[in-house]
């Protein structure tokens, strides 16, 4: 502890080379870890700079327009935000019950063998690239489900996109909420069964309430994922050239992400430093903020579960 001088040639001093190497390793690992902070800073800066530049180029009144048509200087935020919300609500209407049901089944009902078969299937579903799901939503879900149920629906629709996004987020809901339910101590289950409760009662009255933090986190994270999903909406929601404000889920519409994809993919044929191109960054900033808030909220719920057990 005290800074005493080493007796000449103490063997406890250790090799200076080793100490230098250890310090070098530590420094290198720290540098790697610090990189992740740099990435966050990079994301924020690249969004903010161009978004500010975008806002300075346009009249703020252009943000309130009949629709999202960047080439014509119509940057209706309401159009893309409402489109995003419609898709997200539809997606969660599917992902929440299906994901939660799967989670309860896997955690409380399934035998280890069934689990062993079903879990990998969910994992494979989670690994399907979203562009594939987008094509599937457009070419299969839209004609066979959406237009079957609602004959007036268009080929491109927010509905088809929402269902596709929902399918994409099912594994996320299922796996996080299943983890939360399996973390509920067995003593609680045994107590409930010991009182003669059936499995339905135990699952719904005991396990789900005990795991509620994790379940809420799963739903919030899935919402965030649905908001940020790009390829499914870019392919299935249509309106790649822009869209009028709409609340009709059965017709085409524009979302934050789809608008970004069409700006970048050139369907809106923009590039360079004009306002249309820079609206891409503005949308990105909006999207980033929305998902960040949701992720932070979800994170506090996750931490609450950790504290409990």
Partner 1 sequence: MNAPSAVLGSRDRSVRRDGIDIRGLLFAGFLLLALLFSLAILTVLVGSQVVQGFPVFAERGIDFLTSDLASNPANAGVAQGIVGTALLVVVVAVLAFPVGIMTALYLEEYAGDTALARFININVRNLAGVPSVVYGILGLAVFVTLLAVLGDGDGKTILSGGLTLAVLVLPLVIITSAEAIRAVPDALREAGFGLGGSRWQVIRQLILPAAAPGILTGTVLALSRAIGETAVLILVGAVLGSFSTNGSLGALLTGPYTALPAIVFDWARKPGPAFQADTSAAIIVLLAITILANAMAVVLRNRYERKW
Partner 2 sequence: MTTTSSEGPAPAGPDPVLEADTAEPAASVAPAVVRLRDVGLFYGEFRAVKGVSFDVPTHQITSIIGPSGSGKSTLLRSINRMNDLIAGTRMEGEILYHEENLYASYVDPVEVRRRIGMVFQKPNPFPKSIYDNVAFGPRLNGFKGDLDGLVEQSLRRAAIWDEVKDKLKQSGLTLSGGQQQRLCIARAIATDPEVILMDEPCSALDPRATLQIEQLMAEIKERYTIVIVTHNMQQAARASDRTVFLNMAEDRAGYIVEQGETAQIFTNPTHQMTEDYVSGRFG
Show contacts with partner 2 in window 18-47 (CB under 8 A). Answer: 18-19
Residue 266, CA distances (Å) to 27, 79, 180, 185, 263 in order = 44, 20, 43, 53, 6
Query: Which of 4, 36, 56, 307 contacts partner 2 by CB under 8 A?
Result: 4
Query: Which of 170, 218, 219, 239 contacts partner 1 by CB under 8 A?
Result: 170
Q: Closer CB to partner 1, residue 100 or residue 250?
A: 100
The region of 40-48, 64-72, 210-218, 246-254 touching partner 1 under the rule CB under 8 A is 40-48
The region of 45-53, 61-69, 81-89, 147-155 touching partner 1 under the rule CB under 8 A is 45-53
Picked from partner 2, partner 1, none, the partner binding residue 25 (CB below 5 to 8 A depending on kind) is partner 1
Q: Closer CB to partner 2, residue 14 or residue 97?
A: 14
Write the burial class of residue 156 (CB in 10 Å: 0-12 exposed, 13-18 middle, 19+ buried): buried
Write the burial class of residue 199 (CB in 10 Å: 0-12 exposed, 13-18 middle, 19+ buried): middle
- Quick one: angle between helices 77-104 and 256-265, nearest 10? 120
Query: Which of 57, 264, 274, 304 contacts partner 1 by CB under 8 A?
Result: 264
Q: Closer CB to partner 2, residue 17 or residue 113?
A: 17
3-class SS shares of the chain: helix, strand, coil, % to 5? 75, 0, 20
17 contributes a contact to partner 2 by CB under 8 A? no
User: Which residue, chain included where needed, has tokens 């250790």?
Assistant: 14
Residue 142, CA distances (Å) to 128, 146, 274 in order = 19, 5, 35
127 contributes a contact to partner 2 by CB under 8 A? no
The region of 2-10, 112-120, 126-134, 281-289 touching partner 2 under the rule CB under 8 A is 2-10
Q: Closer CB to partner 1, residue 56 or residue 61?
A: 56
Report the length, in residues, of the chain.
309
Q: Looking at residue 7, what DSSP letter applies?
A: P
Binding site for partner 2 (CB under 8 A): 1-7, 9-15, 18-19
């Amino acid at each position: 502890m005290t800074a005493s001088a080493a007796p000449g040639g103490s063997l406890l001093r250790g090799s200076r080379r080793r100490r230098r190497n250890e310090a070098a390793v530590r420094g290198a690992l720290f540098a790697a870890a610090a990189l992740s902070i740099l990435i966050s800073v990079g994301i924020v800066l690249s969004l903010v700079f161009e978004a500010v530049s975008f806002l300075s180029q346009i009249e703020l009144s252009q943000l309130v327009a009949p629709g999202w048509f960047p080439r014509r200087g119509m940057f209706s935020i309401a159009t893309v935000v409402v489109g995003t919300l419609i898709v997200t609500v539809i997606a969660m209407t599917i992902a929440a019950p299906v994901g939660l049901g799967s989670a309860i089944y896997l955690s409380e009902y399934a035998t280890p063998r069934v689990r062993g078969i079903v879990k990998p299937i969910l994992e494979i579903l989670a690994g399907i690239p979203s562009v594939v799901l987008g094509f599937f939503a457009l070419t299969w879900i839209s004609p066979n489900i959406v237009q079957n149920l609602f004959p007036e629906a268009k080929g491109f629709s927010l509905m088809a996109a929402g269902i596709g996004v929902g399918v994409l987020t099912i594994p996320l809901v299922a796996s996080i909420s299943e983890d939360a339910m399996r973390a509920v101590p067995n003593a609680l289950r045994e107590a409930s069964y010991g009182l003669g409760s059936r499995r339905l009662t135990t699952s719904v009255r005991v396990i789900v309430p005990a795991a509620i933090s994790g379940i809420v986190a799963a739903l919030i994270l899935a919402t965030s994922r649905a908001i940020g999903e790009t390829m499914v909406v870019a392919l299935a929601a249509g309106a790649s050239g822009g869209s009028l404000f709409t609340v009709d889920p059965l017709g085409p519409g524009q979302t934050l992400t789809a608008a970004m994809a069409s700006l970048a993919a050139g369907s809106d044929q923009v590039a360079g430093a004009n306002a249309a191109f820079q609206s891409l960054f503005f949308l990105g900033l909006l999207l980033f903020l929305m998902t960040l808030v949701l992720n932070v909220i979800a994170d506090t719920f996750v931490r609450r579960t950790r504290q409990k057990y």
